[in-house]
Amino acid sequence: MSLGHEGALCPQSNRLPTELGVYDVSGFHKIRIFFCECFRHEKYVQLLRVGWFPASSIEPKTAFTFELLDLFVTLSTAGKLSAHDFYQSLVRLTDGINLRDCPVSQINYSTLPMLT
């Protein structure tokens, strides 16, 4: 998938595609995307424009569709569903017998700057 240029490959792009994990209401998907290199927009802005919320603004490797985020807000507020149970439901939607891996990013808190 190419971002920018109405789905065509960016003429300034000379990189290999980036593998991105996308969580959607249908489950977890790994896709390869080409970011547009000729605009001054950051990668996270390009993802937001296609309706995906990136997990990081620096070098996004995971994104969540707006539909998924809306569903989570509805289920967590009206149905009192926890984030853990919501994630486990997505894992089962993706692979009901656990043959595939649905990664969860681990945060290394020791590398984060301390707030004073």
pLDDT more than 90, % of the chain: 26
pLDDT more than 70, % of the chain: 80
**Could you give the CA distance from residue 36 to residue 64 in angstroms, rounded to a whole number?**
20
pTM: 0.73
Q: How confident is the model at residue 65 (pLDDT cuts 50, 70, 90)?
A: very high
If one compares 2 and 21, the residue with the highest pLDDT of the two is 21
Q: How confident is the model at residue 11 (pLDDT cuts 50, 70, 90)?
A: confident
Q: What is the mean pLDDT of the chain?
A: 79
Q: Which one of 67-76, 97-106, 107-116 scores highest in mean pLDDT?
A: 67-76
Q: How confident is the model at residue 62 (pLDDT cuts 50, 70, 90)?
A: very high
